[in-house]
Amino acid sequence: MLWKDVHKASPVVRIQSLARGWLLRRRLALAGPGVLRRKGLANEEDLFTCESKDRQYPLKYFAFEEAGKIYWFDAESLWSWMTRSVTPVNPYTKIPLPNDVRRRLREWGWRNRTRVDADTLRDTMSRRWNLVVQIFRENGFIDSHPEQFANFDVSDYRTMFVFLERDLQISLPEKDIHRDRLIRLCRRGQKGDDTDVAPAHKIFLLFRMLSIPKDPYILVFSILSAFVRC
């Protein structure tokens, strides 16, 4: 006798089933068009892995529409591609990826705990800054560039997080559902040692913070303001 059969009338089992169904539907929604019905796609194989469209695992599938055509990819491969540039493009057409596509892919990456790493520490930091600066630009700060932050050391990052915490305590109302969480992350950014990998962790914290609010404009403004004062 299976456990699920013994407890099939339990409300807990029904709630768990509904929760798993909701989470699965949410992940499939992030995948984009064609995730369950692979017809009418512009490419037969993934550009990076050469996996055929019929064999691509649904939870690692990602697609978007451009000029009436649906381009699909292995999500992890497209995620890695997007981290390589401040202005990532569709690798097939060289047209910049729209903001909504980048936001959806970032949410996919965060929900699947996809790493933003490379072979060298310098490249890892560059890729992480690319993602952060993409968000800066999407919120109107179009002149932002990773090179602006290339000379910051661990001490500068700690100081920035001190300024940022103070600013958020003032700018965000106490009833803001994200306020306490953002402040906790700021305090994490103020700690840590002086190892070579510490700056990469600080950049990751920024990316984590920027992924929390649906409209991160105030947070973006506060982060840039804090960096200017370092």
Domain ranges of the chain: 31-111, 121-228
Distance (Å) of CA 178 to CA 166, 198, 223:
15, 25, 16
Of 41, 51, 44, 99, the C-alpha closest to 75 is 51
**What average pLDDT does the chain have?**
90
pLDDT at residue number 28: 83
pLDDT at residue number 113: 85
Sign of CA dihedral 162, 174, 178, 225: negative
Fill in the amino acid letter for 139: N
**pLDDT by residue (tens digit) across 25-58?**
677 889 999 999 999 999 999 999 999 999 999 9
**Residue 32 corresponds to which tokens in the numbers above?**
């984009």
Instruction: Specify whether the CB–CB gap between 67 and 74 falls below 8 A.
Output: no
Per-residue pLDDT for 20 more than 60? Answer: no
Q: What is the DSSP letter of 95?
A: P
Of 110, 122, 209, the C-alpha closest to 167 is 209
The two counts, helices (H) then strands (E), for the chain are 9, 2
The residues, any chain, with a CB within 8 Å of residue 168's CB and separated by 6 or more, are 179, 182, 183, 186, 219, 222
Written in H, E and C, the secondary structure of 70-89 is EEEEEHHHHHHHHCCCCCCE
Q: Which residues, listed in sequence order, are joined to residue 73 by a DSSP beta bridge?
A: 62
The angle formed by the CA atoms of residues 21, 27 and 30, to the nearest 5 degrees, is 140
- Average pLDDT of span 77-83: 97
Task: Provide the pLDDT confidence category of residue 11 given band limits of 50, 70 and 90.
Answer: low
Of 200, 201, 210, the C-alpha closest to 137 is 210
**pLDDT by residue (tens digit) across 161-213?**
999 999 999 999 999 999 999 999 999 999 987 887 899 999 999 999 999 99
pLDDT at residue number 111: 85
Of 92, 24, 21, the C-alpha closest to 63 is 92
Which stretch of 4-13, 96-105, 146-155, 197-206 has the lowest confidence by average pLDDT?
4-13
The span from the CA of 221 to the CA of 189, in Å, is 18
Q: What's the residue count for the chain?
A: 230
pLDDT at residue number 17: 54
Task: Provide the pLDDT confidence category of residue 12 given band limits of 50, 70 and 90.
Answer: low
